[in-house]
Amino acid sequence: MFVLVDPGSNEEILRNQLFKEGLTTDAVGRIFLTHYHLDHLLNIRLFPHADVLDGNMIYTGDAMNPYTGYIPGTTIQVVSTPGHTPEHASLVFRNELGVIAVAGDVIWWENGAKQDTSRLAILSKKDPYATDITALQKSREALLSIADYIIPGHGSMFKVQK
């Protein structure tokens, strides 16, 4: 079963990316939402049979079931990373590259913006949508300290500069 993170709002791009990976919408059994901004969740409608997860609940149809720590049945850790929004959560897992953090909008760049991935640039980057700047800073610091690579909410995966 595949876990899709933040299916976004552009159906064409999503379907093309799934196709490139040899997947269909039916192959996705779980969708993880880092937070509830529309640009991250509008395409959940394409997955009517998938469970939807946030940082602490699994939604299956009308049922809600709490969980903690890891996405059930996986080694994917769920980490609370508030700041961009109060409920924001990120995912952390290990693969052949090392520790990967799927950061959602704890770290993001506007379309076309230069992606400066230095620690100082990331920690000082302004987020006009942040609900709690202090919490956002702590969340960024936490992800930078544990990850070898980070996948931002908008932008390209990058290697963390230690």
Predicted local distance difference test score (pLDDT) of residue 1:
73
Percent of the chain with pLDDT over 70: 100
Mean pLDDT estimate for the chain:
96
What are the extents of the domains in the chain?
2-66, 77-159
Structure confidence by residue, pLDDT tens digits, 72-110? 999 999 999 999 999 999 999 999 999 999 999 999 999
Asked if residue 159 has pLDDT above 80, the reply is: yes
Token digits of residue 85 = 């929004």
pLDDT digits (tens, 9 = 90+) for 4-46: 999 999 999 999 999 999 999 999 999 999 999 999 999 999 9
Give residue 111's pLDDT band: very low, low, confident or very high (50, 70, 90): confident
What pTM was estimated for this model as a whole? Answer: 0.94
C-beta of residue 2 within 8 angstroms of C-beta of residue 51: no
pLDDT score at 112? 85
Q: Which residues contact 15 (CB under 8 A, 6 or more apart)?
A: 25, 46
CATH architecture designation of domain 77-159: 4-Layer Sandwich (3.60)
In contact, 107 and 152? CB cutoff 8 Å: yes
Percent of the chain's residues with pLDDT above 90: 96
Handedness of CA 69, 78, 7, 157 (dihedral sign): negative
